[in-house]
Amino acid sequence: MDDKIKKVARTGFVAKGTVYAITGILTFMAAFNMGGQKAGRIQVLEFLDKQTFGNILLILMAIGLASYATWRFIQSVKDPENIGDDTKGKAKKTAFFISGIIYLGLAVLAVMRVIGSGSGSSGSSGAAQKSSFLASETGLIFIGIAGAGIAIAGIFQFVKAYRNDYAKKFDLSSLSEEKKRKSIKNTAKFGLSSRGVIFLIIGYFALKAAFSADPSKIKTTTEAFSFIQESSYGAWLMGLVAAGLVAYAIYMFLMAKYRRFPA
């Protein structure tokens, strides 16, 4: 594989890891009243925007997220890792492409915040049109399909964690210490499981919204954290999931360093 593509992928992993690290840290702090806030991707951009040299941080984040999106598009179109064109391969490529669109959109939002239009409002008419579309039959079908996809992605996170599928992507043989290899495995399991929890909650509420014909029941990441917080031992559970997202961020950073690419 071309070294330029590898660099693009590794840059993308760092950016994605940074998003999850900030999400996890802010939410963990909120869980135990240490400041912070329940966060999702948009809140991460808002957080960066408020920092010293916020515009520079947002531009760097946009470059990193665009790099990750590019890697996903390359995976879905050029198939550099020989995933194949069977049913499983096509499903993976579709998921890669959707992931690419999501992260490219986030990169665009980061740039929009820099140029001053990201925090602006598109007006109540735009929001009303969006709400009207989601409440339509077509919109509800779209919500249902998206919810099913997110829920399946959540289940896949657990499968990936406990089958050790992620290990195939690491060059663990280059690590001489068993402790380091074990740390990577434990971090990956914890991170993927926590991500799976969030995906399952969001997917569940999207399906619920579709079947009840009520788009207002759709949950974002921040609302998924609120759902966890409202349960028994909510603060501890929310803190645990948030810590897991930090672990997922570490997993992404490790991917940036140790990811194995085909020759």
- The answer to whether position 263 is within a domain reads no
| Predicted local confidence at residue 199, as pLDDT | 93
Task: Kindly tell me if the per-residue pLDDT of 125 is higher than 60.
Answer: no
Per-residue pLDDT at 65 exceeds 80: yes
* Number of domains composing the chain: 1
Residues 92 and 165: their CA atoms lie apart, in Å, by 14
Q: Is 231 part of a structural domain of the chain?
A: yes
| 247 contacts 22 by C-beta, under 8 angstroms | no
Q: Does residue 172 lie in a domain region?
A: yes
* Residue range of the domain that includes 142: 3-258
Contacts 24+ apart (CB under 8 A), 252-255: 252/13, 252/14, 252/16, 252/17, 252/20, 253/13, 253/14, 253/17, 254/170, 254/184, 254/187, 254/188, 255/10, 255/13, 255/17, 255/169, 255/170
Is residue 118 included in any domain, yes or no? yes
Q: Give a yes or no: residue 52 inside a domain.
A: yes
In a domain, 236, yes or no: yes
Q: How confident is the model at residue 175 (pLDDT cuts 50, 70, 90)?
A: low
Percent of the chain with pLDDT over 90: 48
- The average pLDDT across 115-137 equals 60
pLDDT in tens, 182-204: 888 889 899 999 999 999 999 99
pLDDT of residue 165: 72
Position 151 confidence tier, pLDDT thresholds 50, 70, 90: very high
Domain assignment present for residue 184? The answer is: yes
In a domain, 227, yes or no: yes
Q: pLDDT averaged over the chain?
A: 86
Instruction: Compute CA distances 132 → 1, 108, 136, 205, whole Å.
Output: 46, 25, 6, 19
Assign 109 a pLDDT band (cuts: 50, 70, 90): very high
- Look up the pTM and report it: 0.87
- Contacts of residue 219, defined as CB under 8 A and 6 or more positions apart, other chains included, come to 201, 202, 205, 206, 227
The pLDDT score that the predictor gives to residue 133 is 66
Look up residue 174 and give its DSSP letter: G
